[in-house]
Amino acid sequence: MNFPRLLTAALVVLAAPALTAMAHPAMAQDWNAQIEQTDKGFRVGNPEAPLQLIEFVSYTCPHCAHFEQESEAELKYVYVLEGLAAVEIRHLIRNPIDVAAALVTECGAPENFFNNHRAILNTQEEWLTRAQGMSPAQQNRWVSGTIASRMRAIGNDLDFHEIMEGRGYSFSDIDNCLADSERAMALAETSAANAAEFNVRGTPSFVLNGSLLEGVHDWPALGQIMAPTRQSAQESGTTTTE
């Protein structure tokens, strides 16, 4: 028996997995999975990204829903995914419906927020049309009584429970979140503080690296401002995806 030859063959076999691993490097990190609740909102992405974006959102703002749909392909799957941008969503409360919608988006664990956020904005046309068709008597239920009863009335009238069932929530899950009066008050207070901090006057509005982008309220305008950072990263080969 030729032991040197057998030993050589065994070493080749043992080395094969290591060689294969070296030939196929580990997949780059998906920064869309990096989600955390901040003291003023929810942030997704690389906390050290060169682009630190804050988006101010009102759920009853049609332009906010349009921005979500127009920006998702690039903002989520390019800028955030590649570690070029971190995006923080902050609520800008304009009316009682905004409060109820915000309570629903925050229902559950922080990592659920961004998908909840998209679910509410992507169905906005349906429930906002329903809201506009409500009678004065129905709408009066949204502004009278306890905070919990108001929020539950909005949720019931606008089918928020049904919308969130598709996200795996039960009726009682959403009902309990809508009844959180303390959180509802905190949302309104934080919204006012956020707006005052950056002098935000409309939605969607954007703060990029600490500065409010005046006159920028849609993805084409915002994307144009962010594009040079993406181009620079591509040219230098510093993006985090293959």
- pLDDT tens sequence across 141-164: 999 999 999 999 999 999 999 999
Coil, helix or strand for 33?
helix
Q: Which domain holds residue 147?
A: 32-236
Amino acid 1: pLDDT: 43
DSSP run (H or E) holding 96? helix 96-105
Task: Return the pLDDT at 239.
Answer: 57
Residue type, 194: N
**Domain contains 22:** no
Rounded (5°) CA angle 122-141-184: 60
**pLDDT recorded at residue 159:** 97
What is the model's pLDDT at position 181?
97
Q: In the chain, how many domains are there?
A: 1
Q: Is residue 241 part of a domain?
A: no
For the chain, the distance separating the N- and C-terminal CA atoms, rounded to the nearest angstrom, is 47
Kindly state whether residue 11 falls inside one of the protein's structural domains. Answer: no
Burial class (CB in 10 A: 0-12, 13-18, 19+), 120: buried
| Residue 203: inside a domain | yes
Q: Considering the chain, what percentage of its residues have pLDDT values greater than 70? A: 86
Interval 214-231: pLDDT, tens = 999 999 999 999 999 888
Q: Is residue 195 part of a domain?
A: yes
What is the side-by-side order of every strand in the sheet holding 85-91? 35-37, 42-45, 85-91, 51-57, 205-208, 211-212
Q: What confidence score (pLDDT) does residue 4 get? A: 41
- Does 36 score more than 90 pLDDT? yes
Asked whether residue 16 is domain-assigned, the answer is no
> pLDDT tens-digit profile of 103-142?
999 999 999 999 999 999 999 999 999 999 999 999 999 9
Spatial separation of the C-alpha atoms in residues 103 and 148, rounded to whole Å: 11
In whole angstroms, give the CA distance from residue 222 to residue 229.
12
What does the pLDDT average to over 20-47?
A: 78
**Contact yes or no for 160/101 (Cβ under 8 A):** yes
What pLDDT score was predicted for residue 234?
Answer: 74
For residue 26, tell me if it sits in a domain: no
Q: Answer yes or no: is 7 within a domain.
A: no
48: domain CATH number is: 3.40.30.10
Residue 111 to residue 89: CA distance in whole angstroms = 13
pLDDT over threshold 60, residue 13: no
User: Is the whole model's pTM more than 0.75, yes or no?
Assistant: yes
Query: What distance in Å separates the CA atoms of residue 161 and residue 196, rounded to the nearest whole number?
Result: 32
